[in-house]
Amino acid sequence: MRRYIARRLLQAAIATFLVITIVFFVMRLSGDPTLLLVPEGATAEQIAALRHALGFDRPLAVQYLGYLGDLAHFDLGQSLVQRAPVWLIVASRLPYTMALAAGALVFALVTGIPAGIAMAVWRGGVTERLLSALVLAGQSLPTFWSGILFILLFGVSLHWLPTSGADGPASLVMPSVVLGALAMATFARMTRISVLEELGRDYVTAARARGLSMGAAVVRHVLRNAAIPVVTVVALEVGNLLAGAVIVETVFAWPGIGQLAMQSIFARDFLVVQAIVLFVSMVYIALNLATDLAYSAIDPRIRGMA
Amino acid sequence: MTPALAVHDLRLLIGGAAVVDGVGFAVAPGEVMALVGESGCGKSLTAHAIMRLLPDAVRQDRGYVALDGDNLSVLSERQMRLVRGRRMSMIFQEPQAALDPLSTVGAQVAEGTGSPLRQARAAVLAMLDEVGIADPARRIDQYPFELSGGMCQRVMIASALIARPAVLIADEPTTALDVTIQAQILDLLRRLAIERGTAIVLITHDMGVVADIADRVAVMYAGRIAETGDTAAIFARPRHPYTALLLAALPRRTDVPRSRLAVIEGRVPAPSEFPTGCRFAGRCPLADARCRAETPLLREVARGHLSACWHAEAVR
């Protein structure tokens, strides 16, 4: 068990280092960052002066080492557009995205997983057909469109919810549902497949032969066995929620890091973009680590592995 | 005396084909009755039909099962749940697949009592001990993957018998096990049948297993019972050509080394291709025109010995 955790931690550390490195070189590959920053019509001398001031005239290897050193002190640099430390800009937006991602995840879990279980247990009936229509909708409606539809219906026509912005918990509802819809569909489909597969196994018949009802057999045996593939997609979907937040936050004027990413790209504020990319990657790695640890909590066979 | 279990004229359909047709037998308390046949002859479906745990695709349109004289077909699913595990239970071919890999051994055995392990712990320990599991206090909290196949089958037997049911259906309980373990499990079943008076229906394709443990045999072929009677009588003198060929196919110690093993020519017809008349006629050395036209019914050819063959008297 200790070795299992140690190995997963080492893998996470290696992945982190690779991400940091790749982000640095990809950003530099896209051209001279100085050119992104200067106003149109700047003279060659002005560009050279800025390049020197920002250190972009140093050899790449020197820049890379400097970048690693800065990161080691959690120094993400100064935003050239907002004239403020990058970490402060990102940190001020982070709680909003956390709240949105959490809302979307909760919505997706509490609707998607029960829907998947119901589709498997009552397969071939009306329940399954109704739920698969819902899943198909969640999976196929693009968020920029469903978001606007929700705003028109629940905000403009019915006045149930605020149309946009971040004004208390009510304004979190629509963006969470819109952002969580795709994850809901993914959870429902994965849960359905996984539960269906487990329902066909001998241990289910054996449990029923001991006098358990179908429901009791599902709750006591099937769900835990079906959980492993679902846990995997849940972790992957959280990463996708952060990616999806870019569009949803823009549609709903939600001041999170998705909206910040969009604004920073348009403003060519590349250190902020770089910080967001790094942050989202770190979240991905942390989630993968959490998934591996969750497996061992669920499955004694993994716990037993050295 | 009322039999512990009686199956009457059972017919099971998949699509339009009768994969089990007119199957009936009775088992007395403490008796081991073997239901023997090739794979696909309907013996395992018969077992699931007795427990009323048939897969969705299979439909029972005739016949009923009586447990100690009570007709089970009138019970609701809710009432049937009180029968399963308490009055009648089942063990399976692959013990490791029949145990939930993520639940402890003890929790699964306790399910047979209907109480959680916390309350049933003493009973579970005693039952694990009774089925011959060494160090039950340690095993009770282990997971199936930590146990061997033979031990898993002992756990299954413990979970099936802990509530003292009158009937145990054992569906190929030794097929997936090593030969030495096989013998131990058969001994265990035999002993429990005698000590507890449990009626056992043993499903198998192995005539060797039948000879080892069964008091009586029903030989099934293509969804029907071909022959039934006392094990000793059937092994001494089979009255159905299929049984005779099955027995001839058993390797013997007196066989010349490297000689060819006896085989039954041809294969079991698919349910959609069942012929009219005797279903074995296509592979039978004694078949004639009547066999291909008229279905032979089970008839008594000696005391307690029934055969569904027009030529039962001619079988050698």
Report the 3 state secondary structure along A235-268: HHHHHHHHHHHHHHHHHCCCCCHHHHHHHHHHCC
Substitution target in B79, B111, B115 with the highest count of A β-carbons within 10 Å is B111
For the entire predicted model, the pTM comes to 0.80
Of B53, B82, B100, the CB nearest to A209: B53
How many angstroms away from the CA of A196 is the closest CA of chain B? 13
Distance CA B100, CA B107 (A): 10
Structure ipTM: 0.88
In the structure encoding, which two tokens stand for residue B104, read together? 């402890």
Of B92, B102, B111, the CB nearest to A212: B111
Residues of A within 8 A of B100 (CB-CB) are: 203, 207, 220-221, 224-225
Nearest alpha-carbon partner for B228 in B298, B312, B314, B169: B298
Q: Mean pLDDT of all residues in chain B? A: 90
Partnered with residue B306 across adjacent β-strands are B228, B300
Contact B233, B217 (CB under 8 A): no
Distance CA B155, CA B124 (A): 10
Cross-chain Cβ contact A211/B82 below 8 Å:
yes
Beta strand pairing status for B299-302 and B305-307?
A: antiparallel
Cross-chain Cβ contact B145/A224 below 8 Å:
no
Share of chain B above pLDDT 90, in %: 66
DSSP character at residue B308: -
Question: Would you state the pLDDT for residue A124?
Answer: 84
Substitution target in A203, A219, A299 with the highest count of B β-carbons within 10 Å is A203
Question: Would you state the pLDDT for residue A150?
Answer: 85
Least confident span in A24-33, B5-14, B269-278: A24-33
Find the chain B residues whose C-beta atoms sit closer than 8 A to any C-beta of A. Answer: 48, 51, 53, 78, 81-86, 89-94, 97-103, 108, 111-112, 114, 143, 145-146, 156, 159-160, 163
Residue B62 CB partners (closer than 8 Å, separation 6+): B9, B10, B11
Of A203, A212, A304, the CB nearest to B98: A203
Residue B68 CB partners (closer than 8 Å, separation 6+): B2, B4, B5, B87, B166
The low-confidence residues of chain A, meaning pLDDT below 70, are 30, 304-306
Cross-chain Cβ contact B108/A207 below 8 Å:
yes
Distance CA A31, CA A268 (A): 13
Contact B66, B8 (CB under 8 A): yes
Cross-chain Cβ contact A202/B84 below 8 Å:
no
How many angstroms away from the CA of A290 is the closest CA of chain B? 20
Least confident span in A103-112, A134-143, B108-117, B249-258: B249-258
Q: What is the pLDDT of residues B154-207, one digit of tens each?
A: 999 999 999 999 999 999 998 888 888 888 899 999 998 899 999 999 999 988
Size of interface A-B (CB pairs under 8 A): 81
Distance CA B290, CA B281 (A): 10
Question: Would you state the pLDDT for residue A155?
Answer: 80
- Rounded to 5 degrees, what angle do the CA atoms B199, B200, B201 make? 125
Question: Would you state the pLDDT for residue A306?
Answer: 42
- Residues B282-291 have a mean pLDDT of 89
Cross-chain Cβ contact A301/B112 below 8 Å:
no
Cross-chain Cβ contact A203/B160 below 8 Å:
no
Distance CA A160, CA A154 (A): 5
Q: What SS3 state is found at B89?
A: strand
Distance CA B124, CA B129 (A): 8
- Residues B131-159 have a mean pLDDT of 92
What chain B residue is nearest to A226 in terms of C-alpha separation?
B102
- Residues B98-102 have a mean pLDDT of 93
Distance CA A28, CA A49 (A): 19
Cross-chain Cβ contact B159/A300 below 8 Å:
no
* Class of the domain covering A94-267: mainly alpha
Burial degree of B60 (CB within 10 A; 0-12, 13-18, 19+): middle
Question: How many whole angstroms from its chain centre is CA A6?
Answer: 25
Of A205, A299, A301, the CB nearest to B53: A205
Question: Would you state the pLDDT for residue B268?
Answer: 82
Query: What is the edge-to-edge ordering of all strands in the sheet holding B70-71?
Result: B17-27, B5-14, B58-67, B70-71
Where does the pLDDT of residue B56 fall: very low under 50, low under 70, confident under 90, or very high at 90 and above?
Answer: confident
Of B89, B92, B143, the CB nearest to A202: B92
What chain A residue is nearest to B80 in terms of C-alpha separation?
A211
* CATH 1.10.3720.10 domain extents, chain A: 94-267
Sign of the torsion formed by the C-alpha atoms of B71, B16, B172 and B149: negative
Question: Would you state the pLDDT for residue B306?
Answer: 94
Partnered with residue B216 across adjacent β-strands are B33, B230
Of A209, A213, A225, the CB nearest to B89: A209
Q: What is the pLDDT of residues A117-153, one digit of tens each?
A: 999 998 888 989 999 999 998 888 888 888 888 888 8
